[in-house]
């Protein structure tokens, strides 16, 4: 904008200088013309006066004889020459012979060529110094006696003209300086709003929509600044709304529970969210802005993308993708992105991780199959022995008693299974309430040891409880805690061979108590560990169900521990044994 101001100022300066120069030349010419006209009129008047004076005082001879020239000449600013009719110089106020010689030709011309014809006249002789001549006849008794000639060099006029130009230049220079100062103020006054508007427009172009101009004019520049401020405010509001929508969209995309992949119309990946990076273990710096087929390794996903590019239709498909050491199930929703004017913009892919749903679905199938099997086994036994009794075994008292004892045993087993399923269902419900109190874990384990004396003797397995002499207290529901350790110790006895050993170690910490149940049994394979707390999941499927248990004991244990805000961990080495470690809180305050 400084350039614009300079250009405007230079234009004004040039225009003013041209006008002042034109005015100066015009005034100089007018002053010169006026001065020459005045000069000529003065010479003419003087010439007329002397001619009349000579005529009234007896003519030329009388005028010269009486010596009146000596009195008259000092009163004149110009040169006076008196000529006879034949061109003879009778008198000349100039004493210089050179001037007389230079005048001789002009005086002769006036006398011989013009004087007798016209009576008076005007003549200018140009040279180094222009000389102005004015002449008039002198008459006596009606006859021309001679001529009176006034002459003066124009050098005087040049001096006056020079002084006039000096004065004019000084005046015009002062006027120019004043005009330049005014022009600078005026250009600054009128260009400042434009400069401010331009700077504001530049800032708006840079994206700084908070910039404003402050116009104090009510003319077009004021309208310009007002309009620019309205534009900036509208752009700022639009940008704020856009940023809010952008933030919302980014927050939604980044925090959505499914992976998002955006591919442009040229096949380059342009956007991935946090869940996609987490699920597929990719780095945005190396994944983005690459051809999709160079960064996506799974051929099923590539085939889906190519199908969408080819058909321009929405696709929904379930795939299993190997990732590192596991395989995950994804439901892929792919859709083409088409603009308002039917222009192709790219593809959107959403990856829903349904691995857990598939696992739960499989668990449900396994659960139904296992429950059906667990229920069918006792029912089949009850039905088979009942049919045998009805076919005639009722008469054999020994057989009757044996069959009825089996039916009772299977009925108890069926009742136990149903009861445990009901307990598990109750614990999984949100409204399950824990009747917590102070529990002496040492006392509970002692009671369990007394309950299992018969089974310990039967399998010849030793049970050792390692604890301090002092009671160890936790907060919880006594019956539920006892149920946990009955299940764990019973399982340990079941899967420990005859002559084995089961150890229960109680470790008291500052806020918690760790109870470790360790056996010397068959152990569990590492791949089986994540599933041992599932309902009806059996590690050794070939092992007879006659070993006891309903198959949901560990599932119940896990839920009871979670209700008590505790933890349960398992470590196992096949052929060596298994250790279940339960961590319970001494106080549930602040944890429920």
CATH of the domain at 397: 1.10.287.130
Q: Return the CATH number at 460.
A: 3.30.565.10
Whether 22 and 156 map to the same domain: the answer is yes
Q: Tell me, what's the pLDDT at 505?
A: 92
| Helix ranges restricted to H, 429-575 | 441-451, 453-459, 478-494, 553-563
Last residue of a domain, one of 317, 336, 353: 353
Which of residues 135, 160, 185 is at a domain's end?
Answer: 160
pTM of the model: 0.47
Residue 167 lies in a domain: no
Q: Give residue 544's pLDDT.
A: 39
Q: Does residue 33 form part of some domain? A: yes
The pair phi, psi for residue 67, each rounded to 5°, is: 70, 25
| Same domain? 347 vs 375 | no
86 and 23 fall within a common domain: yes
Is 237 inside any structural domain? no
Q: Judge if 11 and 154 occupy the same domain.
A: yes
Q: List the domain range (segments joined by +) for residue 151.
A: 2-160
Q: Is residue 89 part of a domain?
A: yes
For residues 300 and 336, state if they share a domain.
yes
Query: Domain with 10 in it: what CATH number?
Result: 3.30.450.20
Contact 215, 222 (CB under 8 A): yes
Question: Residue 170 domain-assigned?
Answer: no
Residues 442 and 549 both lie in one domain = yes
Taking the C-alpha atoms of residue 367 and residue 371, their distance in angstroms, rounded to an integer, is: 6
- Give residue 545's pLDDT: 47
Residues 305 and 387 in one domain: no
Q: Does any domain span residue 103?
A: yes
- Helix H, strand E, coil C: the string for 161-217 is HHHHHHHHHHHHHHHHHHHHHHHHHHHHHHHHHHHHHHHHHHHHHHCCCCCCCCCCC
Residue 367 lies in a domain: yes
Residues 112 and 153 in one domain: yes
Tens of pLDDT, residues 345-358: 899 999 998 888 88
Q: Are residues 27 and 142 in the same domain?
A: yes
Residue 421 shares a structural domain with residue 440: no
Q: What angle do CA 159, 162, 163 make, to 5 degrees?
A: 90
Same domain, 324 and 444: no
pLDDT for position 73: 66
Picking from 117, 135, 160, the residue at the C-terminal end of a domain is 160
Are 382 and 477 members of one domain?
no
Contact 296, 377 (CB under 8 A): no
Tally the domains of the chain: 4
For the chain, residues with pLDDT lower than 50 are: 1, 542-546
Residue 150 lies in a domain: yes
């Amino acid at each position: 904008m400084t350039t614009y101001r300079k250009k405007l100022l230079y234009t004004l300066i040039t225009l003013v200088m041209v006008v002042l120069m034109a005015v100066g030349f015009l005034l100089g010419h007018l002053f010169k013309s006026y001065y020459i006209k005045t000069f000529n009129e003065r010479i003419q008047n003087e010439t007329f006066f002397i001619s009349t004076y000579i005529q009234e005082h007896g003519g030329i001879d009388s005028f010269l004889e009486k010596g009146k020239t000596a009195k008259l000449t000092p009163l004149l600013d110009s040169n006076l020459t008196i000529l006879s009719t034949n061109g003879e110089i009778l008198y000349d106020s100039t004493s210089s012979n050179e001037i007389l010689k230079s005048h001789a030709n002009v005086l002769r011309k006036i006398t011989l060529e013009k004087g007798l014809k016209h009576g008076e006249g005007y003549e200018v002789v140009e040279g180094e110094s222009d000389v102005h001549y004015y002449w008039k006849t002198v008459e006596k008794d009606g006859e021309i006696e001679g001529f009176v000639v006034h002459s003066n060099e124009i050098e005087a006029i040049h001096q006056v003209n020079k002084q006039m130009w000096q004065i004019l230049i000084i005046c015009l220079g002062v006027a120019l300086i004043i005009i330049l100062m005014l022009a600078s103020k005026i250009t600054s006054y009128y260009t400042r709003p434009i400069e401010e508007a331009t700077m504001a427009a530049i800032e708006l172009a840079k994206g700084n929509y908070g910039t404003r101009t402050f116009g104090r004019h009510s003319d077009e520049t004021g309208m310009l600044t007002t309009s620019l401020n309205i534009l900036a405010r509208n752009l700022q509001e639009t940008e704020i709304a856009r940023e809010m929508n952008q933030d919302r969209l980014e927050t939604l995309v980044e925090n959505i529970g499914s992976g998002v992949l955006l591919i442009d119309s040229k096949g380059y990946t342009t956007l991935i969210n946090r869940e996609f990076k987490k699920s597929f273990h990719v780095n945005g710096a190396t994944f983005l802005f690459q051809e999709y087929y160079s960064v996506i390794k799974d051929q099923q996903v590539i085939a889906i993308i190519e199908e969408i590019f080819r058909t321009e239709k929405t696709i929904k498909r379930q795939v299993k993708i190997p990732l590192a050491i596991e395989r995950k199930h994804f439901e892929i929703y792919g859709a083409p992105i088409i603009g308002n004017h039917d222009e192709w913009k790219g593809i959107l892919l959403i990856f829903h991780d349904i691995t857990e749903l598939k696992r739960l679905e499989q668990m449900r199938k396994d659960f139904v199959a296992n429950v059906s099997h667990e229920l069918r086994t006792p029912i089949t036994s009850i039905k088979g022995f009942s049919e045998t009794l009805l076919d005639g075994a009722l008469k054999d008292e020994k057989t009757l008693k044996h069959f009825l004892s089996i039916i009772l045993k299977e009925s108890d087993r069926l009742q136990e299974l149903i009861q445990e399923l009901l307990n598990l269902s109750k614990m999984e419900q949100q409204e399950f309430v824990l009747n917590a109190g102070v529990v002496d874990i040492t006392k509970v384990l002692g009671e369990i040891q007394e309950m299992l004396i018969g089974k310990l003797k039967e399998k010849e397995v030793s049970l050792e409880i390692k604890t301090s002499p002092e009671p160890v207290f936790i907060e919880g529901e006594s019956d539920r805690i006892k149920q946990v350790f009955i299940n764990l110790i019973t399982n340990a006895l079941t899967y420990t061979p005859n002559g084995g050993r089961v150890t229960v170690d109680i470790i008291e910490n500052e806020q918690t108590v760790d109870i470790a149940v360790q056996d010397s049994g068959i152990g569990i394979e590492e791949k089986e560990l994540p599933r041992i707390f599932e309902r009806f999941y059996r590690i050794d499927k070939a092992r007879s169900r006659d070993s006891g248990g309903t198959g949901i004991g560990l599932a119940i244990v896990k839920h009871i521990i979670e209700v008590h805000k505790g933890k349960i961990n398992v470590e196992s080495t096949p052929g060596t044994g298994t250790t279940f470690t339960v961590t319970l809180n001494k106080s549930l305050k602040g944890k429920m």
